[in-house]
Amino acid sequence: MTLEEKAGQLLQLNITTIFTDGQLDTAKLAEMVGVYKVGSFLNAINDQAQPHTVVADVIRKIQEVSLRELHIPCIYGLDEIHGSTYVSDGVLFPQEINLAATFNREHAAAMGRAIAYETRSALVPWVFSPVMDLGRDPRWPRMWESWGEDSYLQEQMAVAEVLAMQGPDPNHIDGEHVGVSIKHYMAYGAPWSGKDRTPAYLSPSDLREKYFRPFKSCIQAGALNMMINSASINGVPMHANKTLLTGWVKEELNWDGMMVTDWADIDNLYTREHVATDKKDALAMGINAGIDMVMDPYDPETAVQIRELVQEGRIPMARLDDAVRRILRMKVRLGLFNQPVWDNSGYAKTGGEEFRAQALAAALESEVLLKNEGGILPLRKGTRILVTGPNAHSMRTLNGGWSYTWQGVRADDFAKEYNTILEAVRNRFGEDCVTYATGVVYDDVEWEKDHAVGIDRAVAAAAGADVILACIGENSYCETPGNTNDLNLSENQRQLVRALAATGKPVILVLNEGRPRILGDIEPLAKAVVDIMLPGNHGADALAMLLSGDANFSGKLPFTYPRHINALHNYDYKVSENVATMGGLYNYDAVMDVQWPFGHGLSYTEFAYSGLKVSQESFQAGDTLSFEVTVTNKGQVAGQESVLLYSSDLVASLIPDVKRLRQFTKVSLAPGESTVVRLEVPAKELAFVGADGKWRLEAGDFRIAVGSESLMIRCTQTKVWDSPNID
C-alpha cells in the first residue's frame, strides 16, 4: 500500500460528506475515496433511520467505488443502541438500562442477535454498541445507555450482547452477525461535574477494579473494536492516554483489535483540552497513544495531515502500519474482502414477529414495581382510570434517545403502529373505562422544559375515575443536550401530582425517564409507583399487561434511586460512609438514605429464601465456591425472581465496599413451588485492587448474602497477583 492509502484507512467520515440535497453525490464519493483514500464512513443517511433496502443501496455504491479505486472494501458503521436505531423497518428493544433491570442475560443476547441480523440486512457490518460505561451518577445524561451502576452486572450483560452480535467465531463473522464497538473506553459515565464529556477523577483502584472490568471481559470475549471516551481521567484526555490505550489494552491483554475515536475527538485535544497546539499535533498525540481510526466526520484533509506527520517523523511508520493492520484485520474478520456486499433479499426476519416478541418479553421483565401500598395493583377489569401526564401519549418518551434519530425527536412519526401508554391502557381495560387529560406537556424545543396546560382539567376529569395513572418523567434526549442542572422532577409535574392527590383518588405514578429524577414530596402521595424507564416501542403494552395482572412484575433496579439532591450514592459504597457505622459498627444490611436501593423491585407474589449453604467454608484463591439456596413462591400467582448474591469483605487493607454483587440468576416459580438455586463464584472474584495497585485476596472473613439469608466463609491464605489482571 502507498502512504496515501495507509493514511486514508485511518480516516472515517460522516456519510454527509458524500451526500448533496439528501442524495448520494457520486462525484463527492469519488473524491473522498479516490483522492483522499478514505476507508470508512458512518452514521444515518440524512440523520434519520432509513429502510434497510435504502441503506443497502448506498453501501453497494460506496463499495463499488472503494474496490475500483483502492481494491480495499470500505467499512461502514452505525449506532445501533437498543435494537435497530437507524434501520427504520427493524425492531427497537428497551434501552440497556431496562435490560439490566431484568437481571436476565438472555434479553441482552436476544437484543444482540436482533441488532446484528437487522443491521446486516442493510449491508452494514459494524455497530457502535454496546455502551458499557458504568452509570454511577444519575446526573450524567447517558445513564440510560448503560447497564446500571454495578461492574459485574455491566460485564455480564455486555458480554452476552457482544457474543450474540459477533457470533461464535470473532475471526470469521458470518452474514447474520456484526462486529461490535464496545464503548466508551473508559469511565465516561463518571464525570465530576455530572455533565456529558467532562473530566473524571477516580482512584487507580476503582479504575482498574470496576471501570476496566467490563471492557476487559468483552475484549476477552472477542470484541473487535473499541470506541474511546471523549473526556479525560485524572487530567489526561483518554484520546491521548497511551498508558490506558496501548498499555492496559493492547499490551496487557495482547489485543489485536482496533480503536476508533468518538465524534471529532481528536480536534478536542487542541480546541477543548488544550494538550495539543493544533490539529496535526493532536493527530500525532492520539495516534501515537494508540488510536487506530480517526472519526473526523467532516474533514477529509485529516488523511493528508496523517500522511504529512509520517513523512515528518512525528508518527513512526511502524505505528501507522500497526494501525492499518488492525483496520484491515477487522475488515478481513468481517468477511468484507471476500464479500464486500451480499444478497440482502433473504433477511425475512427483519422487523418480524420473532424480534418483536423478544422486545415485548424484555420490556415485561424490565419494568419495576417500586411501591404497591395496600395492594392497589393489579387493577381489576372495569376499573375507571384517568390517564394523565406528559408521558401518557408519547412514543418519543417511551424510547428515549437513539430512536430513529439521535435525540429521538421523531419517534412519534416512525412508531405510529405501536401503542402509547394511553392507547395500551385503553386496549387492555376498554375504551369506556379510560379517560385522558394531558395536564402537562413538554416544550417542543428544549427537552427539559414542560408546561402546565391543563392541570385543572385533569383534576376535573379525576371526579369520574376510580384511580389516576400519572405518567411523568422526562422527554427524550441524548448526550450533551441532555445535561441538567436539577435532578428534581420538574415543578409542573409535581404540581400536577399534588393537585391530583388532593382529589382523594388513589394515584399511581408511572415513571418514564432515562435516569432517576428525585420525587421530593410527591412519592408519599402515591399509592403505587412503577418505574418503566425507557422500555421501547413495546413498553406501553408491557405496562398495561402488568397493571392488569395479566403479567407479573419481576424487574429490579440496576441503580440506586436517590432521595436527596445532594446525596447520590451507589449500593457498593464504603462501609465508613454510612452514618450507621460511625461507632465502628458494621451493618451490612444498612441502606443509605435513598428512595429505593439497588436491586429493589416488588412482585404480585412473595418469594422466601431459606437454607443457604456453601460447598466449603474455608477457601483459597484457586477455589470455586458453590452456593445453594432454596427459593419458594409463597403467594397465589406465578412469578419470576432475580436471585442476587452479594459478598462483604469484613476486614481489608483498603476500606472495603459494604457489599458487592458477585452472581445472579433468574427463576420462574408457580404458586407454592420451591427450587434450589445454585450460584458459583470463583474465589478470585472476592479480590480487590489494593493501594499498591495490585490485585489482592486477603485472608479473613467474608459475609455472603442471598435474599434474607447469609453465612460466613473464610479465606485462609493471602494471595497477591503480580499481573495487573487476574486471569
- Of 117, 139, 141, the residue nearest 406 (C-alpha): 141
Percentage of the chain exceeding pLDDT 70: 98
- CA dist 223 and 159 (Å) reads 9
In this structure, what is the dihedral angle of CA atoms 405, 409, 413, 417, given to the nearest 10 degrees?
Answer: 80
Average pLDDT of span 212-220: 97
Examine the pLDDT at 95 and tell me if it is beyond 90. yes
Helix, strand, coil percentages (3-state) for the chain, rounded to 5, are 35, 25, 45
Examine the pLDDT at 177 and tell me if it is beyond 50. yes
Average pLDDT of span 49-55: 97
- CA dist 114 and 176 (Å) reads 9
**What's the grid cell of residue 343?**
444478497
Segments of 327-462 assigned E as strands: 368-372, 385-388, 434-437, 440-442, 450-452
**Exposure string (b/e) for 683-701, b if CB count within 10 Å is 16 or more?**
bbbbbbbbeeebbbbbeee
Average pLDDT of span 451-462: 97
Please name the CATH architecture into which domain 356-562 falls: 3-Layer(aba) Sandwich (3.40)
Q: How many helices and strands (H and E) does the chain possess? A: 20, 33
Examine the pLDDT at 569 and tell me if it is beyond 80. yes
- Of 646, 516, 524, the residue nearest 589 (C-alpha): 646
Which residues touch 365 (CB under 8 Å, ≥6 apart)?
101, 102, 104, 107, 554, 555, 640
**Strand 225-228, strand 258-260: pairing:** parallel
Which residues touch 98 (CB under 8 Å, ≥6 apart)?
362, 363, 366, 367, 532, 533, 534, 535, 536, 539, 555
Average pLDDT of span 334-346: 96
- CA dist 324 and 3 (Å) reads 11
- Of 69, 365, 210, the residue nearest 689 (C-alpha): 210
- CA dist 385 and 388 (Å) reads 10
Predicted local confidence at residue 577, as pLDDT: 80
Q: Are 496 and 452 in contact (CB under 8 A)?
A: yes
Examine the pLDDT at 641 and tell me if it is beyond 60. yes
Average pLDDT of span 556-561: 98
Place of cell 476487559: 216
- CA dist 33 and 506 (Å) reads 63
Examine the pLDDT at 588 and tell me if it is beyond 80. no
How would residue 575 be classed by pLDDT, with cut points 50, 70 and 90? confident
- CA dist 385 and 469 (Å) reads 7
**What's the grid cell of residue 577?**
460512609
- CA dist 75 and 68 (Å) reads 15
Predicted local confidence at residue 582, as pLDDT: 46
Residue 27: other Cβ atoms inside 10 A: 9
**What's the grid cell of residue 473?**
418523567
Q: Any idea what DSSP says for residue 50?
A: B
Average pLDDT of span 43-53: 97
- CA dist 258 and 50 (Å) reads 28
Residue 286: other Cβ atoms inside 10 A: 28
Examine the pLDDT at 580 and tell me if it is beyond 60. no
How would residue 592 be classed by pLDDT, with cut points 50, 70 and 90? confident
Predicted local confidence at residue 584, as pLDDT: 47
- CA dist 268 and 193 (Å) reads 18
Comparison of pLDDT for 588 and 409, the residue scoring more = 409
Catalytic residue annotation:
262
**DSSP per-residue letters across 198-250:** --B---HHHIIIIISHHHHHHHHTT--EEEEPSSEETTEEGGG-HIIIIIIII
Examine the pLDDT at 581 and tell me if it is beyond 50. no
How would residue 303 be classed by pLDDT, with cut points 50, 70 and 90? very high
Please write down the HEC assignment for all residues of 71-106.
CCCCEEEECCCCECCCECCCCECCCHHHHHHHCCHH
Q: Any idea what DSSP says for residue 375?
A: G
Average pLDDT of span 456-474: 97
486-505 pLDDT, tens digit each:
999 999 999 999 999 999 99
How would residue 726 be classed by pLDDT, with cut points 50, 70 and 90? confident
Where exactly are the structural domains of the chain? Answer: 3-333, 356-562, 605-720
Average pLDDT of span 56-82: 98
**Residue 13 buriedness (CB in 10 A; 0-12 / 13-18 / 19+):** buried
Predicted local confidence at residue 587, as pLDDT: 59
* Beta-bridge mates of residue 703: 648, 712
- CA dist 554 and 106 (Å) reads 15
**Exposure string (b/e) for 121-143, b if CB count within 10 Å is 16 or more?**
bbbbbbbbbbbbbbbbbbbbbbb
Q: Which CATH number fits domain 605-720: 3.40.50.2300, 2.40.50.460, 2.40.50.660, 2.60.40.10?
A: 2.60.40.10
Average pLDDT of span 671-699: 97
pTM: 0.96
- CA dist 132 and 301 (Å) reads 32
Average pLDDT of span 562-582: 82
Average pLDDT of span 303-313: 98
Predicted local confidence at residue 593, as pLDDT: 86
Phi-psi region of 536 (alpha: psi -120 to 50; beta: other; left: phi over 0): left
**What's the grid cell of residue 281?**
499535533
- CA dist 557 and 367 (Å) reads 9
Cis status, amide bond into 130, omega within 30 of 0 = yes
- Tell me which CATH code domain 3-333 carries: 3.20.20.300
Mean pLDDT of the chain: 96
- Of 429, 404, 430, the residue nearest 417 (C-alpha): 404
Average pLDDT of span 170-191: 97
Q: How far apart are the first and last CA of the chain?
A: 38
- Of 17, 142, 89, the residue nearest 481 (C-alpha): 142
Predicted local confidence at residue 590, as pLDDT: 65
- CA dist 455 and 473 (Å) reads 16
